[in-house]
């Protein structure tokens, strides 16, 4: 066992925080606690992205997940009632079969990770990535980028259509 350096300790801390908050999401009996645990998971996953030298993706993660999706989830939680009632708000059934499936898949994937023999390259020093990502989006990935804007427009119109009030008797 080699000595732990400061980045290793930081990584272990962030990884432990990620796992603990994700367990909070999966096992909490109150959906509001689950939602706030989810915020911790998103933040610590953003920290993991920083460890992976992906600064732009980390900022996007904080902006979109924590600033957008999580607020949306909290709105939906608050707009549907009987939240305060713990036994109703986050019921979970079929725990044993689900646990079995999760453990089987977990063991399979652990074996895959251990025996993978992944191709690895020399890790380049971390540099700012924003300019290169912007270049790629406007050259090699231009078509997916434009398609993404169409998808977002469709999602916007679809959500507004789904959640509007019905106009009656016109």
Partner 1 sequence: MIGLNGFLIVSLIVFVLGLYCVLTRRNAIGILMGVELILNSANINYLAFARYSAGTYDGQIFALFVIMLAAAEAVIGLAIVLGIYQTFHTIDVEATETLRG
The set of residues, in sequence order, having a beta carbon less than 8 Å from that of 129 and lying 6+ positions away, is 53, 54, 55, 56, 57
Collapsed DSSP state (helix, strand, coil) of residue 81: coil
Collapsed DSSP state (helix, strand, coil) of residue 118: coil
| Residue with Cβ nearer partner 1 (82 or 170) | 82
Closest approach of partner 1 to the CB of residue 4, in Å? 7
Closest approach of partner 1 to the CB of residue 74, in Å? 10
- Work out the widest C-alpha separation in the chain, in whole angstroms: 75
* Residues listed for the chain: 170
| Residue with Cβ nearer partner 1 (105 or 170) | 105
| Residue with Cβ nearer partner 1 (124 or 167) | 124
Closest approach of partner 1 to the CB of residue 170, in Å? 19
């Amino acid at each position: 066992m080699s000595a732990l350096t400061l980045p290793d300790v930081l990584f272990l801390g962030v990884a432990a925080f990620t796992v603990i908050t994700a367990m909070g999401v999966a096992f909490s009996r109150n959906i509001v606690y689950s939602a706030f645990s989810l915020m911790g998971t998103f933040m610590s996953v953003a920290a993991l992205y920083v460890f992976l030298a992906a600064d732009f993706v980390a900022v996007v993660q904080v902006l979109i997940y924590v600033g957008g999706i999580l607020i949306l989830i909290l709105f939906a939680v608050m707009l549907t009632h009987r939240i305060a009632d713990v036994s109703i708000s986050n019921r979970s059934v079929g725990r044993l079969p689900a646990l079995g499936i999760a453990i089987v898949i977990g063991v399979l994937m652990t074996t895959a990770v251990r025996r993978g023999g992944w191709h690895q390259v020399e890790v380049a020093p971390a540099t700012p990535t924003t300019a290169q990502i912007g270049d790629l989006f406007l050259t090699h990935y231009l078509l997916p980028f434009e398609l993404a804007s169409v998808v977002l427009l469709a999602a916007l119109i679809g959500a507004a259509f789904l959640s509007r009030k019905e106009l009656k008797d016109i």
